[in-house]
Amino acid sequence: MEKKSVKSETQQFYEGKTIFITGGTGFMGKVLLEKLLYSCSDVKKIYVLIRPKRDRGVENRLEDIFKLPLFQRVQNEKPQVLKKVIPLNGDVCSRDLGLSNRHRELLINEVQVVFHFAATLRLEAKLKDAIEMNTTGTKKVLDLAKEMKNLNAFIHLSTAFCHVDQEELGERCYDSPHDPKDVMRLVEWLDDEGIDLITPKLLHPHPNTYTYSKRLAETLVSNEYPTLPCCIARPSIVIPSYQEPMPGWVDNLNGPTGLMVGAGKGVIRSMHCNGDYHAEVIPVDFATNTIITIAYKLGTEWQNTQKSIPVVNITQGNVRPITWGEVLETGRTKLHEYPFEGQVWFPDGDIRSTKFIHNLFVFFFHLIPAYLIDFLMLILRQKRFMVRIQKRISDGLEVLQYFTTREWKFYNDKYLKLDKDQSDYDRNNFRIVRYDIDINTYFKHIILGARQYCMKENLSTLPKARRHQKIMYVVHVTTVYLFYFGILYFIYNNVGIVKLCLDYVTDIIKSLPLIGGLLQKIHL
């Protein structure tokens, strides 16, 4: 007789469940899908809302996802569970999510757990686009969830940074500055020019449309509790995986990963940031495991005990604190050990807490080199690209720097209690907190992950990249010394008092017995 495997409490909750996921093709959505298939393999079905792209239908897009290294362990150990994933043609920006009547009825009759991850993460997105995707899209998913006959848990993925006016963020909902329904109607009826005119006033004090639209979405979700069994999960900045499904998994250049790649390529030389402030980041596998655990808790315990909507701040600030200065130093060390291919300059950028100093470095080390490279491309009759790349980098840095020049305080008692309440079985399968993270090893995996999965650079090219980096180092040091020598030479020849002082100092040095005799021998 075959021995039955022991299941943890969380695995038992998901056994036989039908799940609906929006945003399943995004970074966190893919990790969630993989984790459910691998660790909760007894789920009945997983419906995934997917938008077709160009010549790729939803089935083709799902096949492409399953071919990623992310799903390698599922493909190797449990390939049969992939058949449980059913793609649904739809879009949160379309009416009724773009679902057919048949698919809508399937979801209403079968789904017990909803993970709403769909969102636009473009911090610089137009207000209309952000509201339609993040706020109106959330309302459409909520409307569908309210019709579901067997719903146990609705998890809304938010962000810890959507309440920028709060100096300290608790695990609760806060009043929204505007009625979400009014804003949704406004962007629906106003033209683009009118929306652009009122955007600054609407957004204040929010730095971008992303945090504003996510804040409005939280209000929509909160208003449905307790009629709807829902919960808000607020991760901080999500970064590559610590351990699962593989160390360093990442498939986008958002946030710190993009900065690290830009710095590693030698393109980013300066960033406006306070090195003493703490980096509020969370590995994607910890965040995903927490969200899976939250759904289990909501479906079994919280629904009957929580008077107000459960909110969990998924943050690591007081678990394994790390400052932006430590991030820079560790990242720079690992970038030198594991360089990227095609460095345009030696990776030796730095952070500056003063905006003026940062802008000077941007001018001299971002913009001027970019225009010089494009000028050379023009002479060689090649396509110019560097100024365009630097413009995109500058826009991205400008948006991100809002979060790196402030100290954030997030309370995460519920998050820590989730870890405390886990059984040993659950902690082995759904690790959500680690107090012993090895930062050096983790950063190595982040860089190697970005190198392989984002930049498609094979690890076999590392020796060649290291040789190229040595050449760039010589060029870098030579250029720096020539630059400073040029400045001193210019000052010496054009500023009389400086020249007089230098001549005076030189005469004093020559009058010294030992040094003066040496200088005379070499005719100085």
Amino acid (1-letter code) at residue 507: D
- 512's CB contacts (< 8 A; 6+ apart) are none
Q: List b or e across 231-259, with b for residues whose CB sees 16 or more CB atoms inside 10 angstroms.
A: bbbbbbbbbbbbbbbbbbbbbebbbbbbb
Is pLDDT larger for residue 519 or for residue 484? Answer: 484
Average the pLDDT over 479-499 and give the result.
Answer: 78
Cβ atoms 209, 415 nearer than 8 A? no
Q: Of the candidates 283, 262, 214, which has an alpha carbon nearest to the alpha carbon of residue 27? A: 283
Q: Which residue has the tokens 């000077």?
A: 360
Report the pLDDT value the prediction gives residue 520, as an integer from 0 to 100. 60
Mean predicted lDDT score pLDDT of the chain? 89
Q: Looking at residue 1, what is its pLDDT?
A: 37
Give the residue with greater pLDDT, 29 vs 377: 29
What is the percentage of the chain residues whose pLDDT exceeds 90? 61
pLDDT at 400: 80
63, 57 Cβ separation under 8 angstroms: no
Provide the pLDDT for residue 230: 94
CA 119, CA 215: separation in Å to the nearest integer? 12
Q: What is the pLDDT of residue 3?
A: 43
Total H helices, total E strands in the chain:
23, 13
Q: What is the mean pLDDT of residues 265-271?
A: 88
State the CB neighbour count (10 A cutoff) for residue 182: 9
pLDDT on residue 496: 67
Half-sphere exposure of 18 (CA within 13 A, CB side): 13
Query: Does position 50 have pLDDT exceeding 80, yes or no?
Result: yes
Q: Which residue has the higher pLDDT, 382 or 199?
A: 199
Q: Residue 521: how many CB atoms within 10 A of its CB?
A: 8
Q: What pLDDT score was predicted for residue 258?
A: 85
Neighbours of 524 (CB within 10 A): 10
State residue 499's pLDDT score.
66
Phi, psi of 352 (to 5 degrees): -130, 130
Q: How many CB atoms lie within 10 A of CB 485?
A: 10
**Is residue 238's pLDDT more than 70?**
yes
Structure tokens at 327: 């991030």
Q: Among 60-64, 403-407, 502-506, 517-521, which range has the highest average pLDDT?
A: 60-64
Given a contact cutoff of 8 angstroms between Cβ atoms, the answer to whether 156 and 238 are in contact is: no
What DSSP element (H or E) covers 404? helix 386-404
pLDDT digits (tens, 9 = 90+) for 67-120: 999 999 999 999 999 999 999 999 999 999 999 999 999 999 999 999 999 998
Tell me how far CA of residue 463 lies from CA of 348, 451, 456, 468, 476, in angstroms: 20, 14, 16, 9, 20
Identity of the residue numbered 341: E
pLDDT digits (tens, 9 = 90+) for 336-374: 999 999 888 899 888 888 888 988 888 888 888 888 888
307 pLDDT tier (thresholds 50, 70, 90): confident
The pLDDT value recorded for residue 365 is 83
Give the C-alpha separation, 218 to 215, whole Å. 5
Our measurement of the distance from residue 94's CA atom to the centroid of its chain's CA atoms, rounded to an integer in Å, reads 26
Share of the chain above pLDDT 70, in %: 94
* Contact in structure between 173 and 179 (CB atoms under 8 Å): no
CA distance 272 to 252: 22
Which of 213, 268, 217 is CA-nearest to residue 401? 268
- Say whether pLDDT at 450 is over 60: yes
The pLDDT score that the predictor gives to residue 31 is 97
440 phi and psi angles, rounded to 5 deg: -65, -45
Structure tokens at 92: 């949160």
- What is the phi/psi pair of residue 88, to 5°? -120, 130
Contact 239, 248 (CB under 8 A): no
> How far apart, in whole angstroms, are the C-alpha atoms of residue 154 and residue 136?
17
Which amino acid is present at 379?
Answer: I
Q: Which two tokens stand for residue 35?
A: 């984790």
The residue ranking higher by pLDDT, 202 or 125, is 202
Cβ count within 10 A of residue 513: 7
